[in-house]
Structure 1
């Protein structure tokens, strides 16, 4: 489920925050394993920063904790400033699935929107098979390069360079790069 450790400071802070969230819920590792359908040993290794989570694993944990991935990642970052220089934007990689996520404008308490840059390598295919972390989450995907196939609510959309797809997330979703070059997109996320 997870990839080998990258031992970066973000991974360590993420591991600590995931352990804190489980403790705040008063859940054992077995409780969390049942809620996420992720093995107890994987969860334990994740909380000890022995492995880095995949995008699919983080999605399952976010659903269990009622958070978007951006919210969770923002919780392990320091308070975001109004101006976020490119060199300071948080980047998270799931090398196993070929997904890179840059928090261009990280979430901030009191604000409902955020901007994310996503890149899927050719052939990358990510399925978020659980319920969305926040039902009704509004998303706008503007494809900057490549081609992408996005499935939400049982409907598959072919998104080409320059196209914008918008939807509310109520069900499992799937993102697949269908081009021979990376699919790079801007994702606007708006809380309901």
Structure 2
């Protein structure tokens, strides 16, 4: 079984993530201090790992930056011993199988790097369903070109020329269900009960 990251390793990542998130939003320490009520010196110490982060500090910071807390504090990776979760890497993409069996449709978690933005259309047998967990997913499907954000789903026949990759500055994380035989997957977006 994979070794879980230590608490110290998770905490070490908070400082650089805070700085990157603030710089990405083009907000100065002084502006963030005014928005959160946290002193500039405390914010500076947090970003340089000289002050231990706490929820009392991180919650107002992430709210002021308009980002989810898990963008700063990585959620623990929970391993299911029934599912082989050994990731494979290809062209910067990381694919983790989530299905226990070889039966279809197969489930995967896919992380696409931010630099993966150049479309290369392809076709093959099957049907695919993508659900965006984090980031923005660009999808080219035939003549169409659109972007899906967190919580949105895309479904398509893989015989249509298609490509999907990152849209924006960050990586994108998706859940993928794929069936080689073209099984259809349906996702209802609203409750139809009256």
Q: TM-score, normalised by structure 1?
A: 0.47
Q: TM-score, normalised by structure 2?
A: 0.47
Q: Which has the higher contact order (CA 8 A, sep 6+)?
A: 1
More strand, by proportion:
1
